[in-house]
Amino acid sequence: MGKGGTPMDRDAADRIAEAAERDPGSATATTGFDDRADAAADRNEGGDDE
């Protein structure tokens, strides 16, 4: 987990991606935060694959 206390979930990652699409010049879009949020949500949804 990152610096925060709440793990990234799919809903939050989708909201971040939508914000980046609305404003392509924003820090969220230009720093790739939307991609990192998506990857974190994927990791957190992993479940018990073992």
Q: Taking the model in full, what pTM does it have?
A: 0.78
- On whether residue 33 sits in a domain, the answer given is yes
**Domain limits at 15?**
10-42
The whole-angstrom separation of Cα 8 and Cα 34 is: 11
Question: Residues 10-45: pLDDT tens digits?
Answer: 999 999 999 999 999 999 999 999 999 999 999 999
- On whether residue 14 sits in a domain, the answer given is yes
The reported pLDDT for the residue numbered 26 is 95
Contacts of 30 (CB under 8 A, 6+ apart): 24
- On whether residue 49 sits in a domain, the answer given is no
Please report the sign of the dihedral spanned by the C-alpha atoms of residue 41, residue 42, residue 43, residue 46. Answer: positive
